[in-house]
Structure 1
Amino acid sequence: MLLTILAFVVTLGVLVTVHEWGHYWVARRCGVKVLTFSIGFGKPLLRWRRGDEQWQLAAIPLGGFVRMLDEREAPVSSGEMSQAFNRQHPLKKILIVVAGPLANLVLAMLLYAGLYVHGVDAIRPIAGQVTPASIADRAGFRPGDEIVSIADRPVASWDEAFVALLDVAGSAVPARVEVRDADARVVERLLPLAELGREVYEPRLLIRLGFTPYPLTTVIARVEPESAAAKAGLRAGDAIVSLDGQVLRQWSSLQAALQRGPIPLDLVVRRDGVERSIVVTPAAVDVQGHRIGRLGLEPTIDEQLWQKYQVRLQYPPVQALSAAVDKIVIQTRLTLAMFGRMIVGKASLDQVSGPLTIATYAGESARLGLGNFIEYLALISLSLAVLNLLPVPLLDGGHLLYHVVELLTGRPVSPQVEAIGQRIGLTLLLALMALALFNDIHRLFLG
């Protein structure tokens, strides 16, 4: 819990500080007087002065602000008129507004580039298992297939394959996937992502397609206490030899059988060199409206194969920077596409996350190591940049829209229009925050 809280505070502190520093730095260079630089909202807990500026840490750490001299907020002396934000040319206003999200974007790029220079541990895009009758199975994929490229985009890890698949997910045309099969032949296969419908934009995309990156064996590693498997007498170390009279060659075949529902399964297991028959009735569970079976088993991983699947991605600085920019471009496109599809109902709103989920994942990434935490920090920084540029009043994107209108029309947006926009933006943000909090609670405590 302490690590989670610390990781969450560091994440917010770094991202908010960088964001507000972007606004501050550009405002100063555009000749605008800054009055307050605040990390957090609400009552100041700590404050100090730097010349005419007040710097502070406030009680609510979910954001921050840079308050500039502005006639719309308070009277400005004639000697300081030229330093007021509202008196600046629209292009300067646009630069100041964009600087915050741009600072988060640059931070994400530098963090990703640094990771690539140092080296990132990854998993080669080799299918450890292919679920029978799945989309991948019907497309001809087999265990041991290594994905070389997707839609002519080379991939070196499952993370890159996941991003590349999401990038082409909106097309009705099957994705062209080049693979190197178990015989070292390079062949092309067509993966019809459209068959997944809305589920194509979910984090479990690879599993829903039928891919399991881990090389699983048919030996049981763990049996959950009081589970259907435990009540039937299955034990850790049992090797499942057959399922309903058919030789069980891969764990995914058992997973596929469970998708049919809580139907009794006739298993033959080998224990201490002796084979015995066990009939087990899976427990019934509901997953997204579908009733499936659950045994409460975990398989072992083929450690020799797993070692071969490991890869370390490491690039020289220029190539690392290029890879970081490429990753940011793809993830930005995916974020915008996902947001658009949620608006039109083509993607689930369950994916909207709030501070509880961010804190949880921050803690989990920190527990996995500094590299994982830095990668998570880069992802959240990029997400913050994209979110803030959406044309919603109260966000930077909403202010950007006002200043673009001023640039095109030659006059500022009227206070009445801004007031209406503020109310609309506040309503949208409160609704989004409520949805995010609901999803957090459901995911963490009820899911």
Structure 2
Amino acid sequence: MCRADACRQSGCFDGCRCAGTRTCPCLAGTAPLSMLQTLLAFIVTLGVLVTVHEFGHYWVARRCGVKVLTFSIGFGKPLLRWQRGEVSWQLAAIPLGGFVRMLDERESPVDPADVSRAFNRQTPIKKILIVAAGPVANLLLAMLLYAGLFSYGVDAIRPVAGQVAPASMAERAGFRAGDLITAINDRPVASWDEAFVALLDGAGDAALVQLAVQTASGRHETRLLPLGELGRSVYEPRLLIRLGLTPYPLTTAIARVEPGGAAAKAGLLAGDIVVSLNGKPLAQWADLQAALQSGAVPMSLAVRRGDHVRQLTVTPAPVEVNGKVIGRLGLEPAIDKALWQSYQTRLQYPPLQALSASLKKIGIQTRLTLVMFGRMIVGKASLDQVSGPITIATYAGESARLGLSSYIEYLALISLSLAVLNLLPVPLLDGGHLLYHGVELLTGRPVSPQVEAIGQRIGLTLLLALMALALFNDIHRLFLG
């Protein structure tokens, strides 16, 4: 899915259907992303996040009097190693994580003079502080990055309905093109990003979500969206498309025709203006999209080309989307540039307000992430939302190409996700170790090696299953879109 601010949460358009992984109006004219750019952005992203995470463990361990032996960025064979004081610093071959190795009697014999500095000899409180320091470091990084962005200013798109799809949930709720969403469940929203997150956060198990709207004429009204009807699909990136909303003020002019597509075969050209569909005037592009829901049914289009109007018959190509066969023309509509410009805004706050906005964003994103995990476990959200290294690399590259602000925002989001993931009470993760040390704090004795070994096997199985699922989803997105 395109990660530009303009369409990050609404999906992209490939002609008359939401395609998600294809081109989109906000990126028209940009060069394709090179593999080298993507790889470089991915390495920088992982390098920063892993270094910050492991430095959190390292910094607190040193202050708790624990001897640190190795600080490694990456796993496997060291490519570069240097000694500084007691610590061996290294860069390893597999850049998918890192570790801080501390003195521990459970791993190897310890010199009697250093026994008091072994990790296993520390109090439960110190162990908890050391283990928690990694995720906390990632949380602090996300907080500072978001605060910096809000202080500098973030370009965003006001939550205005550019178009409303006919017969969609949004239209049935009363939405019309030009409606500005001002609040969702009494939470003010200033951009489509905020609106998307508020919709997900407000959905939960509620049957209806309340949206405060200012119409194009200036009236203040309320819309009720029955998001419960969407089931698991409410937690998908294309939520706005499913609701029938798009931020783009699309015109009936054609911006691009896909070579070899149904429209190109019928003779349609970029620059044509579609004036009628099957003999009826075409008021908005959404009407053409709605007609394509009937499948590969031939349609008659009248198009204005220069000073002349031409009648063309086109048969859409059949494609399957969510188990339903719809039609595809292979067209991209042009955007009303004046309206689109009026939708642009810049969110900028004084330093203290920027910090407050950062904390609020982190709180919402954390709660939403945990809700998503819970719903995937009980089957109320689709498992195809899990992403792996290929998707992360792709989004890192795209955000880097879009500019420093977009990349920093993406870095903050991944740092926050890494912190939340690591705090889950799963053995092998920091959250699993926190669970062990919490038990030790309550019982007064460490968890037995046998229990730890069983937990390690369970944790390894869960993580391998999660990695396999993430890789499967990555490959599916890469080849099937």
| TM tier, smaller | over 0.9
Partner amino acid, structure 2, of 1:300? A
Structure 2 distance, partners of 1:176, 1:446, is 36
The correspondence of residues 318-397 of structure 1 with structure 2, limited to 5 A, is: 318-397=352-431
SS at match of 1:259: helix
Structure 2 distance, partners of 1:367, 1:411, is 52
- Tell me the equivalent position of 1:243: 277
- Tell me the equivalent position of 1:97: 131
1:208 aligns with 2:242: yes
- Tell me the equivalent position of 1:196: 230
Q: TM-score, normalised by structure 2?
A: 0.91
- Tell me the equivalent position of 1:431: 465
Equivalent of 1:18, from 52, 60, 73? 52
Once the 2 structures are TM-superposed, how far is the Cα of residue 84 of structure 1 from its aligned partner? 1.0
Equivalent pairs: percent with the same residue?
79
- Tell me the equivalent position of 2:178: 144
Structure 2 distance, partners of 1:259, 1:83, is 68
Equivalent of 2:253, from 216, 219, 235? 219
274-283 vs 176-185, greater mean Cα deviation: 274-283
Once the 2 structures are TM-superposed, how far is the Cα of residue 248 of structure 1 from its aligned partner? 1.4
Structure 1 distance, partners of 2:214, 2:279, is 32
Structure 2 distance, partners of 1:110, 1:315, is 14
The correspondence of residues 74-85 of structure 1 with structure 2, limited to 5 A, is: 74-85=108-119
- Tell me the equivalent position of 2:336: 302
1:285 aligns with 2:319: yes
Once the 2 structures are TM-superposed, how far is the Cα of residue 259 of structure 1 from its aligned partner? 1.6
- Tell me the equivalent position of 2:81: 47
Partner amino acid, structure 2, of 1:133? A
Gaps of 5+ in 2: 1-34
Structure 1 distance, partners of 2:155, 2:100, is 39
Equivalent of 2:71, from 30, 37, 49? 37
Once the 2 structures are TM-superposed, how far is the Cα of residue 431 of structure 1 from its aligned partner? 1.1
Once the 2 structures are TM-superposed, how far is the Cα of residue 273 of structure 1 from its aligned partner? 2.6
Partner amino acid, structure 2, of 1:82? S
- Tell me the equivalent position of 1:123: 157
- Tell me the equivalent position of 2:207: 173
- Tell me the equivalent position of 1:420: 454
198-207 vs 224-233, greater mean Cα deviation: 224-233
Provide, for residues 66-119 of structure 1, a one-character-per-residue CA deviation record: whole Å limited to 9, x for no partner. Answer: 111111111122222211111111111111111100100000010011011111
Structure 1 distance, partners of 2:428, 2:442, is 21
Once the 2 structures are TM-superposed, how far is the Cα of residue 445 of structure 1 from its aligned partner? 2.4
- Tell me the equivalent position of 1:64: 98
Once the 2 structures are TM-superposed, how far is the Cα of residue 266 of structure 1 from its aligned partner? 2.3
Equivalent of 1:259, from 293, 308, 315? 293
Partner amino acid, structure 2, of 1:36? T
Partner amino acid, structure 1, of 2:307? G
Partner amino acid, structure 2, of 1:98? A
SS at match of 1:390: coil
Structure 2 distance, partners of 1:258, 1:241, is 17
Structure 2 distance, partners of 1:273, 1:407, is 82
Structure 1 distance, partners of 2:120, 2:204, is 42
Q: TM-score, normalised by structure 1?
A: 0.98
Structure 1 distance, partners of 2:280, 2:431, is 59
SS at match of 1:168: helix
Once the 2 structures are TM-superposed, how far is the Cα of residue 330 of structure 1 from its aligned partner? 0.6
Once the 2 structures are TM-superposed, how far is the Cα of residue 257 of structure 1 from its aligned partner? 1.4
Structure 1 distance, partners of 2:333, 2:93, is 47
- Tell me the equivalent position of 2:19: none
What's the Cα RMSD here?
A: 1.0
Partner amino acid, structure 2, of 1:237? G
Once the 2 structures are TM-superposed, how far is the Cα of residue 250 of structure 1 from its aligned partner? 1.1
Structure 2 distance, partners of 1:324, 1:182, is 31
Once the 2 structures are TM-superposed, how far is the Cα of residue 245 of structure 1 from its aligned partner? 3.0
237-246 vs 41-50, greater mean Cα deviation: 237-246
Structure 2 distance, partners of 1:12, 1:221, is 38
Once the 2 structures are TM-superposed, how far is the Cα of residue 48 of structure 1 from its aligned partner? 1.0
Equivalent of 2:436, from 402, 409, 414? 402
276-285 vs 317-326, greater mean Cα deviation: 276-285
Partner amino acid, structure 1, of 2:161? A
Structure 2 distance, partners of 1:244, 1:409, is 76
Partner amino acid, structure 2, of 1:261? G
Once the 2 structures are TM-superposed, how far is the Cα of residue 385 of structure 1 from its aligned partner? 0.4
SS at match of 2:160: coil
Partner amino acid, structure 2, of 1:412? P
